[in-house]
Amino acid sequence: MTISTGPKLGSVEIVTTIYGGARIIYGGIRHGLPALARWLGRGSAGISDDAARIARGHAWGKHGHEFPEFENAERLAEHIDSVVRKPTAERSLSRGRHAYYDESTNTVVIKDPKNPDGGTAFRPGRGREYFEGLE
């Protein structure tokens, strides 16, 4: 890995990184952070890979209509990531799954490592009561 620093933009130094022949950060902040985020295992907007996989799978396909404020799976992935990072409540479930709940948006996210989509996200009709009843 080669790291070279360039001029400063305010208090942020512009960095170019070459890793295995691929340029990771180029031209500074605007284009560099998404590439670095992907390299560090986060999506293009800093979204976890788990959230992106859940959103692109079952969550968007079956429950996308429950999230009319999000125009696509990427926006839903950002929301899923937010719920998982700062849930109102969370709990372990059977079969190695883990559930997260955000009361302000009535969103349940279930991470399921055994599911090809990584889990799901949806808005239950009974809200917190539904979440508390998950097993």
* The two structure tokens encoding residue 16: 């170019």
Nearest 5°: CA angle at 127, between 124 and 132? 105
Per-residue pLDDT, 58? 84
Using the 8-state DSSP alphabet, how is residue 58 labeled?
Answer: I
* Domain 49-133 CATH class label: alpha beta
Give percent of the chain above pLDDT 70. Answer: 66
Residue 35 has pLDDT above 50, yes or no: no
Tell me how far the alpha carbon of residue 77 is from its chain's centroid: 5
Nearest 5°: CA angle at 67, between 103 and 101? 25
Per-residue pLDDT, 30? 41
Domain layout of the chain by residue ranges: 2-39, 49-133
